[in-house]
Amino acid sequence: MAPAGIPASSTVTLHINGEKYTLPVDHRTTLLDALRERLDLTGTKKGCDQGQCGACTVLVDGRRTVSCLQFAVAAEGRDITTIEGIADERLTGGLHPVQQAFVELDGYQCGYCTPGQICSAVAVLEEHAAGWPSAVTEDVRPEAGPPPLTPEEIRERMSGNLCRCGAYVSIVRAVAQAAAQPADGVKEQVA
Ligand code: FES
Ligand code: FES
């Protein structure tokens, strides 16, 4: 309970997948609970609820964020992308290349942690293209540019997302395939 004189809730406007949602939230409400319980955006999943599994990953201003550790009020005005907004029919005419690769290479498994895996992979490709090093990058000098996106690099960059069903091998292949696609090389959505 908030101390006397300090409000316990606020009305916030969240920018999600290109839409604006204005809603009152208790200050203790996480972004994850706001998405799932208040806005019916249930593609984002709750796994551990303590920042360890990556199932709740969304993009906030293009950066990977575990939404179970982010308060909804702290996300006000930020540009939030959930799994529901990854494929943009208006822009691509189909699935995101990462989604397409997951379909083709069997990266989809239980479906519970896949949304978080997809969101992370989309950001991984952007981080890599921007030249960000990872913990396994050997040459981290800015002038060295993006390192080769080897399986080891992909595994390290995706290591915040757990999969207990053993799809890691397929996921690494799918991320590598998506990385090799030209930016405008999105294929038709599969039925
Ligand atoms: S539910 Fe957020 S990291 Fe597991
Ligand atoms: S895809 Fe969910 S446990 Fe593997």
Tens digits of residue pLDDT in 6-52: 789 999 999 999 999 999 999 999 999 999 999 999 999 999 999 99
Round the average pLDDT of the chain to a whole number and report it. 90
Which residues sit with their C-beta closer than 6 Å to ligand 2?
109-110, 112-114, 163-165, 167
Q: What is the pLDDT of residue 74?
A: 97
CA–CA distance, 67 with 137 (Å, rounded to integer): 27
Q: What is the pLDDT of residue 187?
A: 38
Q: Residue with structure tokens 């992370």?
A: 120
- Mean pLDDT within 149-154: 96
Strands (E), the chain: 9-16, 19-26, 57-60, 63-66, 79-81
Is the Cβ atom of 46 under 6 angstroms away from ligand 1? yes
Q: Give the pLDDT band (50/70/90) at residue 128.
A: very high
pLDDT reading at 185 higher than 50: no
Tens digits of residue pLDDT in 50-80: 999 999 999 999 999 999 999 999 999 999 9
The atom of ligand 1 lying closest to the CA of 56 is 2
pTM comes to 0.89
* Ligand 2 centroid distance, CA of 141 (Å): 35
Kindly give the pairing relationship between strand 9-16 and strand 63-66: unpaired
The residue whose CA is least distant from atom 3 of ligand 1 is: 51
Is the Cβ atom of 116 under 6 angstroms away from ligand 1? no
* Ligand 2 centroid distance, CA of 22 (Å): 33
Report the side by side order of strands in the sheet with 57-60. 19-26, 9-16, 79-81, 57-60, 63-66
- Mean pLDDT within 89-106: 81
- Mean pLDDT within 169-183: 89
Ligand nearest to the CA of 102: 2
8 Å CB contact between 54 and 160 = yes
Q: What is the pLDDT of residue 65?
A: 97
- Mean pLDDT within 117-132: 95
